[in-house]
């Protein structure tokens, strides 16, 4: 249904968007060097897709590591579980890890791959919409700490991303909507034409239409790939991919990991970022209204949970990878379709947004 390349010189890799797993073995054989394969998945995905994947890998030395499902389990203990599985299988540095699952599985498998014997190959097989449009692409891997989300990890690129849109048919509705939040993000930060397309066709995505989802996935991945190619390790422009994430990560940490899905927290964070951009005089009220309306149509949250105070949010926002010299750096909107990274804002505006979060 489409393919594209993430261009990173010697670390370039393909993103394959397709129906089914028919071409997976052919693609895998292009990037692997020996027959040792470890499938890392979780106890929700394994009963659905693990046997199918094993069948496609017939003839290889395949082992599995089945993790617990959920953001709350994205910890250093999970990394140890994967590495223990690799050691017990006597796998060498020519082995390949396959991340079969959503963003949590991909983050864990990728970080384990970056660490095992100082780095082995890994392949992303994302089975959630959020993972297909965001977390499987770009090489960010890692785990959470009780004091901050994704604070332990590495930049480590996969050898292949294989996005099978048929896996989305088994997604719970809430997970599908969470993935749509990240799709909306790309329209807001870089693709106003795509934002307009989403306004017109959002109902098709919510209904799970495979053709429309495939188009949204391809445009999202193209946008992210272009940004990552310019700034692989997030020393500059790549941070625009974090629109809403500083707010969102604070929500996830403050509520407890897993209480809100990542996409739900990001959706709320994007509304807060848009409101702050409006209050700063950077975007017109119409752009704020269009942002909030589209997120509301996707049945995603637009306001902070009432249990989180402005003080709590600020405390958690102080622990963010974008911050410099104690300043909270935010991704804000200059226009609908143009994002900037800034700590040059009136702190009173941030406090006002957190104290009055309704858009």
The CATH number of domain 173-355, selected from 1.20.1090.10, 1.10.20.140, 1.10.760.10, 3.30.360.10:
1.20.1090.10
Name the catalytic one among 177, 185, 249, 321. 249
The model carries a pTM of 0.93
Task: Please identify which of the residues 177, 185, 218, 245 carries the catalytic annotation.
Answer: 245
Nearest residue to 194 via CA among 208, 205, 178, 210: 205
Phi then psi dihedrals of residue 206, to 5 deg: -65, -30
Q: What is the CATH topology of the domain spanning 2-170?
A: Rossmann fold (3.40.50)
Crossing angle for the helix pair 347-355 and 262-279, to the nearest 10 degrees: 130
Q: Summarize pLDDT for 116-144 with one digit per residue, the tens.
A: 999 999 999 999 999 999 999 989 999 99
Q: Which residue in 71, 74, 121, 140 is the catalytic one?
A: 140
Query: Going by DSSP bridges, is the β-strand pair 338-342/330-335 parallel, antiparallel, or unpaired?
Result: antiparallel
Alpha-carbon distance of 103 to 215, in angstroms, equals 20
Which two structure tokens, joined as six digits, stand for 154? 């590495």
CA 93 to each of CA 35, 87, 99, 116: distance values in angstroms, whole numbers, following the listed order:
12, 11, 17, 8
- In whole angstroms, give the CA distance from residue 206 to residue 65: 32
- 224 is known as an active-site residue: yes
- Give the up-direction half-sphere exposure of residue 157: CA atoms within 13 A in the CB hemisphere: 20
The pLDDT value recorded for residue 111 is: 98
**Is-contact 151 74, C-beta < 8 A?**
no
Q: How far apart are CA 272 and CA 292, in angstroms?
A: 9
Dig out the tokens for 106 from the structure: 């991909």
pLDDT tens readout for residues 10-68 = 788 999 999 999 999 999 999 998 999 999 999 999 999 999 999 999 999 999 999 99
Tell me whether residue 182 is one of the annotated catalytic residues: yes
Whether 149 is a known active-site residue: answer: no
Catalytic residue among 234, 264, 316, 321: 234
Structure tokens at 289: 């209204």
Which pLDDT score, from 0 to 100, does residue 359 have? 59
**Residues in Cβ contact with 61 at an 8 Å cutoff, skipping those fewer than 6 apart:** 35, 36, 37, 89
Distance (Å) of CA 222 to CA 183, 207, 293, 307: 12, 23, 25, 37
Task: Give the integer Cα–Cα distance in Å for 359 and 352.
Answer: 12
Q: Where are the domains of the chain?
A: 2-170, 173-355
Point out the catalytic residue in the list 185, 215, 224, 329: 224
Parallel, antiparallel, or unpaired: how do β-strands 61-67 and 36-42 relate?
A: parallel
Active-site pick, 177, 262, 275, 321: 262
Which residues does the chain have with pLDDT short of 70? 358-359
Neighbours of 26 (CB within 10 A): 10
CB atoms < 10 A from the CB of 282, how many?
18
- What is the distance between the alpha carbons of residues 121 and 7, in angstroms, rounded to a whole number? 17
* Cα–Cα distance, 96 to 206 (Å, whole number): 35
The first and second tokens of residue 198, run together, are: 């989403």
How many other C-beta atoms lie within 10 A of the C-beta of residue 100? 28
Catalytic residue among 144, 149, 242, 316: 242
Active site includes 334? Answer: no
Is the CA virtual torsion 32, 38, 44, 47 positive or negative?
positive
């Amino acid at each position: 249904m489409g393919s594209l390349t993430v261009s990173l010189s010697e670390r370039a890799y393909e993103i394959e968007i397709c129906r089914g797993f028919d071409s997976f073995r052919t693609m895998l054989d292009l990037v692997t060097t020996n027959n040792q394969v470890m499938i890392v998945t979780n106890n929700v995905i394994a009963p659905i897709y693990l046997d199918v994947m094993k069948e496609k890998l017939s003839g290889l030395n395949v082992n599995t590591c089945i993790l617990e499902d959920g953001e709350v389990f994205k910890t250093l203990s999970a990394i140890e579980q994967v590495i223990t599985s690799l050691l017990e299988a006597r796998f060498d540095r020519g082995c390949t890890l396959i991340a079969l699952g959503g963003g949590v599985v991909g983050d864990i498998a990728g970080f384990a791959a970056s660490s095992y014997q100082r780095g082995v190959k890994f392949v992303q097989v994302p089975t959630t919409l959020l993972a297909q449009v965001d977390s499987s692409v770009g090489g960010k891997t890692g785990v959470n700490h009780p004091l901050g989300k994704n604070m332990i990890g590495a930049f480590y690129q996969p050898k292949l991303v294989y996005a099978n849109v048929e896996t989305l048919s088994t997604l719970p509705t809430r997970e599908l909507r969470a993935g749509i939040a990240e799709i909306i993000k790309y329209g807001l930060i870089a693709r106003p034409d795509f934002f307009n397309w989403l306004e017109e066709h959002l109902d098709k995505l919510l209904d799970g239409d495979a053709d429309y989802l495939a188009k949204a996935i391809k445009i999202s991945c193209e946008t992210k790939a272009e940004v990552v190619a310019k700034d692989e390790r997030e020393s500059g422009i790549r941070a625009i991919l974090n629109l809403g994430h500083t707010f969102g990560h604070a929500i996830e940490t403050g509520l407890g990991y897993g209480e809100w899905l990542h996409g739900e927290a990001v959706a709320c964070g994007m509304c807060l970022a848009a409101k702050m951009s409006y209050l700063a005089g950077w975007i017109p009220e119409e752009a704020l209204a269009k942002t909030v309306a589209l997120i509301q149509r996707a049945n995603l949250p637009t306001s902070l949970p009432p249990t989180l105070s402005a003080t709590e949010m600020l405390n958690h926002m102080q622990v963010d990878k974008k911050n410099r010299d104690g300043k909270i750096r935010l991704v804000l909107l200059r226009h609908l379709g143009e994002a900037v990274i800034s700590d040059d804002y009136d702190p009173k505006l941030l406090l006002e947004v957190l104290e009055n979060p309704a858009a």
